[in-house]
Amino acid sequence: MEKFGALLQTQDWKKEKHVPVIECPDSVKSGEKFQITVTVGKEVPHPNTTEHHIRWVQVFFHPEGEKYAYQLANCEFTAHGEAVAGPNQGPAYTDHSVTVTAMLSKPGVIHAINFCNIHGFWENSREIKVA
């Protein structure tokens, strides 16, 4: 039986529209607020249609030297142009990017995972230092 982790895909986000891009400082001060922005389709735009869209993005922090990660955010995108009149005729669309304000007391790794309704799960990660 295949493990769930085997379903997570990753590639170079500059060439693949599904990979979440994590933007945050390289280093932050312990206990001070900072922002983490996760965008899907930063270089190669991802469609945002009723038929093909990003459903959600989750952001995690894995502290250096610890076994478990902590979930920082779970953002669900629920409007993709659906309407009674038909697909892509609706008045509302949610963009597949999210900004999270966080505080850390230890260095570690920020992880982002997203789900495309057609192409599955995608991941990326970025180290962050804490001074």
Catalytic center residues: 16-18, 46, 52, 116, 119
* CA 15-19-23 angle, 5° bins: 100
Strands 97-102 vs 34-40: parallel, antiparallel or unpaired: antiparallel
In Å, what is the CA distance from 112 to each residue of 47, 49, 71, 81, 85? 19, 22, 10, 25, 35
Note the maximum CA span of the chain: 54
Q: Helix, strand, coil: what percent of the chain each, to 5?
A: 5, 45, 50
